[in-house]
Amino acid sequence: MVDKKIVELDELVKVCKDKKKQGEKIVLSHGCFDLLHPGHIRHLKAAKKFGDTLVVMITPDKYVKKGPNRPVFNEHLRAESVASLVNVDLVSLSKWDVAVKAIELIEPDFYVRGRDYLDSIEGFTSTIMMEENAIKKINGEMKYTNEITFSSSSIINEQFDVLSKEAKTYINTFKNNFESKEIIQTLKNLDDLKVLVIGDVILDEYIFCKAMGKPEKAAVVSTKFLYDELYTGGSLAIANHIAGFVKKVDLVSCLGKDDKESFIKETIRDNIKTTFFNRKHAPTIRKTRYIEKSEKSKLFEISHMNDDYLEKDLEKSFIKHLETTIADYDVVLIADFGHGLITPKIQEIIINHAKFVAVNAQTNSSNFGFNLITKYKNIDYISIDERELRLPYREKFGDIEPLLTKVSKDTNCKRINITLGKSGSIYYEHGKTYYVPIFSTNVVDSVGAGDAVLAITSLLSYKNVNPKLIPFVGNVVGSLAVKTMGNKEPINPIDLFTFIKYIMK
């Protein structure tokens, strides 16, 4: 009986239309239902009273961003649990994170939410307005139930191992000093900043393959091509992250002789203004990664680039543009991937003319050991990973705090964020350190996570927020970033706010 209730979306649309022709009233509910509890049961029981057939759409796993390692139960188990309720008639897995498309397709007579939804993070956004507009557009009604409510996230955080013991202890202490609403408002207050991003444009190409086996006469792995995807990376990804939080973002960079500007314009957010200079003797940087799809493991990588410094004439034009515009920005963020764009002269111009300079000097397979953070002096904020901190001092192991003191002195930078991978992160400000454990171990792809952390934490650093907030927000951002392949999706403010709210329950 339960299995018969669970139907594909196309079939659900057909069944609902047939029922409406027969005079039945269709009621639609949409949600995650990660941990089915009495609040959900009463809500759905009350929803059924509005009509004849109650349809429940389940949020797909990839859109569940209510905290670390969520959902606890996968989309199929969640659908099965909801379908087992006597008041639920039909269940289907949604293709979207919100109900707008489902409302348009199913055309229910009533769309029902719990009253507590109005007080949630989502209720502060346009999401609920979008859903209300969608149901009104088809002449349906928005309804709210007023049943007893419980917090699934509070129960999950306490009773399930979504957080390590160390992370639980940290969060419980952190909650004594901060409220989620306070942190969210701090992030919303970033919207008035004027930000300039300067750095390498990188296109991240992912070629998904299926490993076939090893040929008899060659020491290689034979693979079958499945499909490929192209994402905007490097400084483009950083600008995309920032553009979700501020009204004005400008990006200055270089493109190669191949015409990629139209693709870039289609994939970056609307509030990003770009100024591109063209390199005649270089391609637009493209990093091609071959991925074994079932294991999500990287087979190998090819970089298409000319990583020499910019030609002298191009460097002059670049500098001239910066000299006339850079003073207009609150924050200038240098995304230095070590591929030739940030020349010593460009670096000097930025540091001498910008009000606030945030830097990431990345170490990667193309520049290993040649792009060190210590080449920067008199900067305001640094965000790098542990390896990028250790390399300049040739200290592979040992305590990290003495290295923070050294790099602070060598760069004359008083605010430094270091991501530690599975160990979390550590933040240094004016001689004090603040450690935050990792929140999520559910990693799809770590590429680009450090860029996302840099993008958001640099803005908080400019705002001079409480130093304990920077590594906390940085870890939340990192937890969201590793859930998607590469830079496929920028950090969404609502996802960030939701994660913060639920992890602090």
Amino acid at 250: D
pLDDT of residue 342: 92
pLDDT of residue 454: 93
**End position of a domain, from candidates 104, 138, 159:** 159
pLDDT of residue 349: 94
Q: Is residue 501 part of a domain?
A: no
pLDDT of residue 60: 87
Q: Is residue 299 part of a domain?
A: no
Residues 120 and 195 in one domain: no
Given a contact cutoff of 8 angstroms between Cβ atoms, the answer to whether 338 and 398 are in contact is: no
pLDDT of residue 116: 64
Q: Is residue 181 part of a domain?
A: no
Residues 245 and 149 in one domain: no
* CATH code where residue 41 lies: 3.40.50.620
Instruction: Note down the domain range covering 387.
Output: 191-202+235-285+314-491
pLDDT tens per residue across span 172-225: 898 888 998 899 999 999 999 999 999 999 998 999 998 887 777 777 778 888
Residues 20 and 118 in one domain: yes
Q: Is residue 210 part of a domain?
A: no
Residues 148 and 271 in one domain: no
Q: What is the DSSP secondary structure assignment for residue 328, as one 8-state letter?
A: G
* CATH code where residue 482 lies: 3.40.1190.20
Residues 358 and 430 in one domain: yes
Residues 149 and 90 in one domain: yes
Q: Is residue 172 part of a domain?
A: no
**H/E element, 408:** helix 401-411
Q: Is residue 306 part of a domain?
A: no
Q: Of 362, 349, 331, 274, nearest to 457 (Cα)?
A: 331
Is residue 334 helix, strand or coil? Answer: strand
Residues 439 and 329 in one domain: yes
Regions of the chain with pLDDT less than 70: 1-2, 66-69, 115-126, 147-163, 441-445
Query: How many domains are contained in the chain?
Result: 2
pLDDT tens per residue across span 429-460: 989 999 998 887 666 667 778 899 999 999 99
Q: Helix 180-188 and helix 469-481: axis angle, to 10°?
A: 80
Residues 196 and 150 in one domain: no
pLDDT of residue 353: 93
The gap between the terminal CA atoms of the chain, to the nearest Å, is 36
What is the pTM for the complete model shown?
0.73
**Sign (positive/negative) of CA torsion 425, 67, 149, 156?**
negative
Residues 155 and 253 in one domain: no
pLDDT of residue 492: 86
Q: Is residue 396 part of a domain?
A: yes
Residues 125 and 44 in one domain: yes
Placement of tokens 């002059």 in the chain: 316
Residues 346 and 481 in one domain: yes
Q: Is residue 429 part of a domain?
A: yes
3-state secondary structure 263-292: HHHHHCCCCEEEEEEECCCCCCCEEEEEEE
Residues 347 and 472 in one domain: yes
